[in-house]
Structures are given as structure tokens and as C-alpha cells.
Amino acid sequence: GENVEQHPSTLSVQEGDSAVIKCTYSDSASNYFPWYKQELGKRPQLIIDIRSNVGEKKDQRIAVTLNKTAKHFSLHITETQPEDSAVYFCAAGDGNNRLAFGKGNQVVVIP
Amino acid sequence: GAGVSQSPSNKVTEKGKDVELRCDPISGHTALYWYRQSLGQGLEFLIYFQGNSAPDKSGLPSDRFSAERTGGSVSTLTIQRTQQEDSAVYLCASSLNRDNSPLHFGNGTRLTVT
């Protein structure tokens, strides 16, 4: 089955700087790559997703890039703010509505 | 509108007892998932229901775990003879019956086995 890995496991950034989280996946059939944000004690919520026919997608301060050849995709957060502090999960899906999640990345924005 | 609702929000049980966790998906969502999240860990897939199709049970960790979805709506996850390693947050999510539609998660049930 699909195996998704996230790096680094923890990331600390100064407020205003950019944060980048990278995920790799194993199944070349995967074609859907969402990112979920989970604040402390809350439910995971979708923040952005990308499909395999697109190389990059942007929504305000967040963007996701996909490299299908290398089987990796990344989340980019620009001008980080304290409310960006959370655990971010990447996932990969094959179109059958079953997602494989990474272990999560703790992002800490230092004011 | 109403989101995914899970109950109870917290459950403390003694080792060896059975527990039932409930999930009410968003109305109209035909896909329903159960995930387990241990402390500091990722989201571990347990089981997936899609409409009237046979569920994908490939993620259930042992035969002590089972789940039902009645009438294509409410789902119950049952853990029999609970063990301490079952302690985790159990998250339910639902989505539309559409290719790669986003998952909407509930707040989860925090299970503690003493």
C-alpha cells in the first residue's frame, strides 16, 4: 500500500519567515495530495490540496508544489504568523477515497 | 451546517471492558472513515465505508475491533476486551461520494484504558 513520509518532524520558524514541509510518497498511482492542519486539541482540517495534473497551487499565504517524477510534494507557508503553529499532515490518495497520511509535522512559529 | 459529530468526547474504561464509539457523519456524505491517533502520532487508518459496498476493514489492528454503519449514516466502532495500547483519540471523518473529495473530521473520542 501507499507509504507517506514527512520531513522534518518538527520545524521552528521566526514569525514572518517562511516554512516548508516536504512529503514523499511511494505509490505512483496516487493522484490526490491534501494537507490538513490540526491545532492543539482540535480536529484536523483541510487547508489545501493538489491533484496530479497540476504542479503548483496557491491560496493566499500557503502553497503546495508537486513533483510526480520524484514522488514528493511540499507545503509552503509564507509570512508565518503565530496562528500557523499547529501539526500539519500530508496525505496521498489513489482516487478510491482512501488516503494514507504522514505522521505529521509540528510547526512552531516564534513571535 | 452541522459537522461530523462524535460521542462520547471522552471515555475512560477498565482493561478488559468493551467500548462503543459513535459517529454521525455530515448529512449526504456517503463515505465514512475511522482513524486512530495515538499521542504525538499520525493518523492510522482503521476502516472505510462507502455507500452499500462492503467496508474496507484492512486497517483494523485486531479482531477485537469492529465497526458497523447502519442505514448508510451513523457508524459505531466497537472495541472488545480493551487493552492499554488501545488508548488513543479515535477520529471519524466523512466525505461526499466523489473522487478524492475532502475529508471532514469530527472532534474525536479520547479513549483511556486503565
What pLDDT was estimated at residue B106? 96
Tell me if A43 and B43 make a contact (CB, 8 A cut-off).
no
Give residue B53's pLDDT: 87
Check whether B26 has a pLDDT greater than 90: yes
CB contact under 8 A, B100 and A95: yes
Exposure class string for B42-72: b at 16+ Cβ within 10 A, else e: bbbbbbbbbeeeebbeebbeeeebebebeee
Q: Worst-scoring range by mean pLDDT, A59-63, A91-95, B78-82, B95-99?
A: B95-99
- The lowest-confidence range among A40-49, B33-42, B104-113 is B33-42
Nearest Cβ partner for B100 among A32, A44, A89: A32
- Closest of A89, A7, A72, A26 to residue B44, by C-alpha: A89
Q: Would you put residue A9 in left (φ > 0), alpha (ψ -120 to 50) or beta?
A: alpha
**HEC assignment per residue over B28-48:** CCCEEEEEEECCCCCCEEEEE
Q: Percentage of chain B surpassing pLDDT 90?
A: 73
Closest CB to B42 among A31, A95, A102: A102
DSSP B59-109: T--STTEEEEEGGGS-EEEEE-S--GGG-EEEEEEEE-SSTTPPPEE---E
The grid coordinates listed for B99 are 473522487
pLDDT tier at A39, thresholds 50, 70, 90: very high
Average pLDDT score, chain A = 92
pLDDT for the residue numbered B96: 87
Residue A109's pLDDT is 97
Residue B83 has pLDDT above 80, yes or no: yes
